Amino acid sequence: MTRHPMVCISAALALASAWSVGPADAALRQVTIAASPAVGGGADGDLAYLQTPTVLVVTRQDRSRHEYAVPTGCAPDALTNDVVALTCPAGPDRPQAPTILRLSDGRLQPVAVPPDIAGVGVVSVGAHWLLGDASFAADAVGHLSEGIVAINWTTGRALELGREDPLGVRSYADLDSATLRRRLCAPITRARYGGGASDRTRYAVVNKIGPWVLEKASESQWLQRCGHRERQRFGRNASAVLGVDRVAYLHGATVRVRDLRHGTVESIPWPTPSRPIIALGGRRLIVSEPTPDGRYVVYGEL
C-alpha cells in the first residue's frame, strides 16, 4: 500500500481567534495496517487495535507492545491503563454486548446487559464503569429508543443516563469512581436535550482530562475550561477527542490538533475522500483510515 503524504501545514482557524495556528514541523507516519481502527487511552497514552481478527495489540506508554487473543468479531472501542472494552457481535440468543479484556492477564470478562436493552456500543471505559450507546427494547407499539447507559463492569449495576439521569446537570459520569458521580468544576454544567416518548431526554456526554471538559450532545460538541464561561464549539461531525493538553478534531479535509497549553493548531491535510477515525492517547495522535478491503491504515505520532 502506498503511504499518503502527511505534511503538516499552517492554516487559519475560524473557531476562535485566541487559538492561533503556529508553525508545524511534524508529520504522521504509517504505524501498521490493522483489522480495526486504533483507539487511544485518553489520558493514559495507550493504543489498541486488532492486528488480525483474533489478535489485539496494545502499545503502552513505555512503547512496549503486547498481544492478546480475542474472539472473532470482537473489536476494541475504548481502553484505560488496565482494561480494553470490546464490543462483541450479537448471536441467536444474546444481544450485541461489551466484553472487558484485562491487560494484566489477558482474561476476558463478559459484561451483563440488562434485559430491556437490545444492544450496547461502548463509548468509553474506566476502572469501574463503561459508558455505552444503548438501544432499548421495543415498547408496546414496536418503537425502539436510544439512550446512554453506564454499566459497572465489576458489579453488573446499570444506570440509564436518560430521563431519570441521577447525575443531574452539575455532575458527570467518572468511570474510574466506584460511585460514578463526580462534581463538575464551576461554572461548567451538562447540557440537556431531546424529549418525547421515542426520543428520551438525554444529558451531554462529558470527558474531563485535567482542567478541560469536552461535551457532546447529539451532533454538537464543545470544549470548556474549568473556571471559564467561554465555550469553543466544533462543527458538525468534527468527532473531537480529548487527550492530555490536546484536542483533536476533523475540519473539512483536514485533521487538526490544538495544543491547549499554547493555543497553537497543527492542520494535517487528508488527501483521500475517506473519513479518517481519530484518537488521542495521552499526547499521541492516532489516525485510522479505512481501505476498500475492509482494513485500516493506522498513522500516528509515536
Spatial contact of 203 and 161, defined as CB atoms under 8 Å apart:
yes
pLDDT in the model for residue 20: 38
Spatial contact of 286 and 295, defined as CB atoms under 8 Å apart:
no
pLDDT in the model for residue 93: 63
Position 113, amino acid: V
* 207-246 residue pLDDT tens: 999 999 999 987 889 999 999 999 999 988 899 999 999 9
Q: What is the DSSP string of 200-240?
A: --EE-EEEEETTEEEEEETTEEEEEETT----EEE-TT---
**127: pLDDT strictly greater than 60:** yes
pLDDT in the model for residue 204: 87
Burial class (CB in 10 A: 0-12, 13-18, 19+), 113: buried
Instruction: Kindly list the domain boundaries of the chain, sorted by start residue.
Output: 29-300
Confidence band, pLDDT 50/70/90 cuts, at residue 199: low
Q: Name the grid cell of 267.
A: 492542520
Spatial contact of 97 and 110, defined as CB atoms under 8 Å apart:
yes
Position 241, amino acid: V
Domain 29-300 has CATH 2.130.10: yes
pLDDT in the model for residue 146: 74
Q: Which residues, in sequence order, are CB contacts of 196 under 8 Å at separation 6+?
A: none
**CA 109 – CA 176 distance, rounded (Å):** 18
pLDDT in the model for residue 180: 95
67-90 residues labelled b (16+ CB within 10 A) or e (exposed): ebebeeebbbbbbbbbbbbbbbee
Cis previous bond, 273, omega within 30: no
Of 105-109, 198-202, 231-235, the range with the lowest mean pLDDT is: 198-202
**CA 85 – CA 154 distance, rounded (Å):** 13
Tell me the pTM: 0.84
